[in-house]
Structure 1
Amino acid sequence: MNEFTKPAIDIPAQVELLQARGLTIQSPERAARYLEVISFFRLSAYMRPFQKPKAQQETDHQFKEGTEFKQIVNLYSFDRELRLIVMDALERVEVAVRAALNNVMGTTYQDREPFTGSHWYLNEQRFKREYPHKRLLKEVEDKQSKESIHLQRDIKKINQSNVSASLKEQRIERRRRENYARFYHSCYDAPRLMPGWAMAEELTFGSISHLYRGLARDNDRKKIAKRFELPQEVFESWLHSLNFIRNCCAHHSRLWNRELSIPPKIPNGALWDLPERLEPSLVQPSRRIYMVLLMLAYLMRQVSPDSQWHNKVKALVTLHPEVPLFPMGFTENWYEHQFFN
């Protein structure tokens, strides 16, 4: 192990460093403003495609001849727009997954004891033995307890205010109904946790993905996946991949040439017939954002048939012809694919 010795340097020194590495900067003042609001470290991920291979570098991180700072910024801007478009689809897909999960599980177990449909998830028998059921319950209970504490704090402040009793009552009721976790905790004492349809809205998408995989009955998983016209093993795989991409978007991480460490399962059929590798780059489309875009385009047809989301993808790529598509795994004539038409 080596000791880290790189010093922190100010913005003017960062501009000088980039110039010393061979990057053409037409306006150092403009470049400095970008570095102030984006940061050198974040932009460095978008510099790599423009840098010489290590074997050709006399010093570290040298840029290819003719590379300009604006090319790096343009790539960063493209990636930012791509994340926004992907997040738009992910939001609608995520909401639909939460709804499908509880619509299936709630109605399937409505007349079964213990814990009927409204609270189906409280029954540990609904889950595989290895699923961390106690962790699920604790996550929901922690949310309710936290909101209960916040509600009591709000009530105390309201009661200390110098307003009429009726106005205090109105304000307390509004605070109680601000979210369902605090409302349930303040109104019901059995079962101690909120119903399944509220629980599904409180969990992270990652927790929803784990919950789906942890369902004990194969038939339950199949019925949920059927809502999206997918085999359950494919749907399970897609939830895992989409959660990873969602986290990338939420943390503003690089997306355009991201490689998926675990590729999603590919359904059968000609529409999913992807080349093993692209030539001459040897990039695997199934491990790149192109596969994710195909997945989202397909899912958007299931959850929002009238959506023009696929056209937003095409428009973004058209507006940025300078961005290479092979690092994203785009196949030749990708724009002719049925999901993008």
Structure 2
Amino acid sequence: MAFSKPHLEPHDLMRKLIDQGMSIDETSALPYLRQVGGYRMKGYWYQWQDSRTKKFRHGAHFDHVIRRYEFDRELRRATADALERIELTVRTVISNVLSKHEGPHWFMKARIFKESRPRGTGSNLARPGQRKPLLDKVREEVERMRDRSVFITHYLATYDNPALPPSWAISECLTFGSWSQAYRDLANTGYRKEISRRFKVEDPAVFVTWLHAFSVLRNLVAHHNRLIGIQSSVTPGDYRKAGLTFGKSRTFFVSATVIHYVCGSIKHGPDWRDSLEALFARYDDLNIEDLLGFPMDWRKRPGWSSSANRPPISTA
């Protein structure tokens, strides 16, 4: 089927929404249609629209759409802040633990990574699963940052061998996803457990899923994707020892719970629960159970109790 939808100016789109049954205050709606865009705002109104007739349910008002949009925008900001603190701590802990055991250029040692077999190939083609991709990423990022980072510039101007800066310098370059993959591919279970224990997680297999989920969520937030109504394709695994079990739920509540658990192990970490409480209070007309999957008794659920008695981690 050929695409045939025409471009609509903001005024025309507003008239179309009115014809479809939405109540609109032009003075509040037009700035959003002009600056945010109708397609993006549609993510906050389609739930009130009949998928066949395109008519809106009775009572639908564009001001309600704005409330949902602004709530989601503030939630992204709070999430970005929490994930930033988690990311910085994760990469520091990984760098410190591996540098302690394997030296500051541990990422250049093939033997510390698991071997993986490409699908459909014989065992003679097995290779270190993360070594080449990680080194490629390090080289690319060092090259990209050689004139932008004083740490990288200083190292390259001062030292000839090794050709790459030490772990604590490349920490400023690599993405959260790269650190997540590096942790996943560590061959030494003892190293992985030493790292995960800094975050009060005894099972490295669980912590692998948490880091993966955090890196994916961080990318969603960085690219301004919606969080309300999210059904993530990547979710953190259950950690039964702490009572964190989520069944088949893929809502934002799952990730939010694990974020809170991890934040509780970071000294001077973000006040994640307080941020959410304040946000929910400002938008108390919205149903957080429908929008985010937060149950009515979420404050009493495992992972949300006070973390005041938890000893803070050290990144040393």
Of the three residues 289, 301, 306, the one matched with 2:252 is 289
Q: Secondary structure at the match of 1:201?
A: coil
Residue of structure 2 in register with 1:163 after alignment: none
- Answer whether contact 1:104 1:224 (CA < 8 A) is retained: yes
Gaps of 5+ in 1: 110-116, 152-177, 277-283
Q: Which has the higher helix share?
A: 1
- Answering whether residue 188 of structure 2 is matched by residue 227 of structure 1, we say no
- Answer whether contact 2:21 2:57 (CA < 8 A) is retained: yes
* Counterpart mapping for 1:65-144 below 5 A: 65-109=58-102, 117-130=103-116, 131-144=129-142
Of the three residues 21, 33, 37, the one matched with 2:31 is 33
Gaps of 5+ in 2: 117-128, 307-316
Quickly say closer, same or farther: Cα 1:11–1:84, change in 2 above 3 A. same
Residue of structure 2 in register with 1:22 after alignment: 21
Tell me how far apart the structure 2 counterparts of residues 118 and 255 of structure 1 sit (CA, whole Å).
Answer: 38
Residue of structure 1 in register with 2:121 after alignment: none
- Answer whether contact 1:225 1:232 (CA < 8 A) is retained: yes
Distance apart, 1:40 and its partner CA: 0.5
Q: Secondary structure at the match of 1:42?
A: helix
- Answer whether contact 2:142 2:170 (CA < 8 A) is retained: no
- Answer whether contact 1:215 1:221 (CA < 8 A) is retained: yes
Q: Identical aligned pairs, as a percentage?
A: 31
Q: Secondary structure at the match of 2:227?
A: coil
Q: Tell me the TM-score normalized by structure 1.
A: 0.80
- Answer whether contact 1:12 1:32 (CA < 8 A) is retained: yes
Bigger Rg over Cα: 1
Residue of structure 1 in register with 2:228 after alignment: 256
Q: Secondary structure at the match of 2:72?
A: helix
Tell me how far apart the structure 2 counterparts of residues 270 and 247 of structure 1 sit (CA, whole Å).
Answer: 27
Residue of structure 1 in register with 2:183 after alignment: 212
- Answer whether contact 1:314 1:335 (CA < 8 A) is retained: no
Residue of structure 2 in register with 1:174 after alignment: none
Q: Deviations over 1:193-230 (max 9, x none)?
A: 01011123311111111111111111111111111011
Residue of structure 1 in register with 2:215 after alignment: 243
* Counterpart mapping for 1:311-330 below 5 A: 311-327=274-290, 328-330=292-294
Of the three residues 294, 297, 301, the one matched with 1:333 is 297
Residue of structure 1 in register with 2:2 after alignment: 3
- Answer whether contact 2:289 2:296 (CA < 8 A) is retained: no
Structure 1 moving runs of 4+ over 6 Å: none
Q: How much is the aligned-residue C-alpha RMSD, in angstroms?
A: 1.9
Distance apart, 1:306 and its partner CA: 6.6
Q: Secondary structure at the match of 1:23?
A: coil
Q: Aligned residues, how many?
A: 291
- Answer whether contact 1:143 1:181 (CA < 8 A) is retained: no
Q: Secondary structure at the match of 2:33?
A: helix
Distance apart, 1:143 and its partner CA: 2.7
Q: Tell me the TM-score normalized by structure 2.
A: 0.86
Tell me how far apart the structure 1 counterparts of residues 224 and 8 of structure 2 sit (CA, whole Å).
Answer: 24
